[in-house]
Amino acid sequence: MNGKRNETKSTLASHLRDSSSPLVRLVGVYVDFGRQRVLRGLNLEVARGETLAIIGESGCGKTVLLKTIIGLVRPSQGQVYFDDRNLALMSERELTRQRVRFGFLFQQAALFDSMTVAQNVAFPLRQHTPKSSEEIREIVLARLAEVGLPEAVLEKKPAELSGGMRKRVGLARALALEPELMLYDEPTTGLDPIMSDVINELIVSTRQRHPVTSIVVTHDMRTAQKVADRVVMLYPVPRLAEDEDQIIFDGPPETIERVMDSRVTQFVRGEARERLMELRQQTAGGQ
């Protein structure tokens, strides 16, 4: 009797912890590649169910941040917690088990060239579930239908698809195991405006269909404003002052246009301004 009550209590406690604690937490994360520092003392929390957009100019460490969150890049210092567990303390096997809870849409979709579309989408299902071929085929068809792709693409190879289709197959593959955390790496880069909007809509509808937490790395302000509850802007480390925080904006997307920081407004409006002068000076200096 007592045991049962304790069990109920602990379930309740874990439920409370689950709903209140952030799903992803980064504490003082540094990432260096050789002598180049890409992330400097980054602190960031992503709440459950939230869609966070990370924006910033090319080379500011957005993609590295995303890869750090799923343990593809190990931080030189600092900790990354997923569901209150430190990734650095997990064994390779444990990390593999946790990765089933992630879905990652890569910048160029990263579909396996040697496999067909059907095999690509089925890959995570075959790896991690004991489902039969028929069940897997049904799930594959359902996922492809969710991203608006017909049955006719099933047997095609990735090389035969357009960029937009590849991204959608990548999305279907990332969603195959119904992950808790979806990570999108520049989902609209290289696509025409209409296909970009299709992808944005898919990100929104995925969230409506599955209870998922999402992190979207982008430099497309339309994507950030359309899909995100919260926007975080990163700034490249070499251009920051010594003790400055690398996150130069953190707030809801509606407020980003009212920020006074010229670095933020410059990015939001897409204006080169003094950067153009800097680049010209660099070129002149180089000569």
Partner 1 sequence: MSQAIEPLRTSAPPGHWLNPLVGGIASLGAKMITALVTVGDFTVFCLRTIGWLFTRLPRRETLLPACYQIGVLSLPVVALTGTFIGMVLVVQSYVQFRQLNLETRLGAVINMSIVRELGPVLAATMLAGRVGSAMAAELGTMRVTEQIDALTSMGANPIYYLVVPRFLGCLLLIPALTIMADFMGVAGAYFYATWLLPIDSHFYLENSRRFVGAFDLFAGVFKSLFFGAALSLIGCHRGFNCDPGAEGVGKAATSAFVYSFVAILLLDLILAILLDAVYYTIWPEAPKIL
Total site size for partner 1, rule CB under 8 A? 30
Alpha-carbon gap, residue 53 to 144, rounded angstroms: 25
12, 13, 72, 277: which one binds partner 1 (CB under 8 A): 72
Q: Taken in order 128, 129, 130, 136, is the CA torsion positive or negative?
A: negative
Name the nearest CA neighbour of 231 among 251, 215, 248, 204.
Answer: 251
Residues of span 233-252 touching partner 1 by CB under 8 A: none
42, 55, 81, 106: which one binds partner 1 (CB under 8 A): 106
3, 20, 91, 92: which one binds partner 1 (CB under 8 A): 92
21, 22, 27, 30: which one binds partner 1 (CB under 8 A): 30
Alpha-carbon gap, residue 229 to 254, rounded angstroms: 9
127, 162, 262, 282: which one binds partner 1 (CB under 8 A): 127
* Residue 112 in the binding site for partner 1 (CB under 8 A): yes
* Residue 275 in the binding site for partner 1 (CB under 8 A): no
Other CB atoms within a 10 A radius of the CB of residue 250 amount to: 13
* Residue 8 in the binding site for partner 1 (CB under 8 A): no
* Residue 28 in the binding site for partner 1 (CB under 8 A): yes
Q: Which stretch binds partner 1 (CB under 8 A): 12-20, 46-54, 122-130, 250-258?
A: 122-130
Residues of span 159-198 touching partner 1 by CB under 8 A: 173
Q: Which stretch binds partner 1 (CB under 8 A): 26-34, 200-208, 223-231, 260-268?
A: 26-34
Instruction: Tell me how far, at minimum, the Cβ of 117 lies from partner 1, in Å.
Output: 14
In DSSP terms, which residues pair with 32 in a beta bridge?
A: 37
Contacts with partner 1, residue ranges (CB under 8 A): 28, 30, 32, 35, 37, 40-41, 67, 70, 72, 77, 92, 96-97, 99-100, 102, 104, 106-108, 110-113, 123-124, 127-128, 173
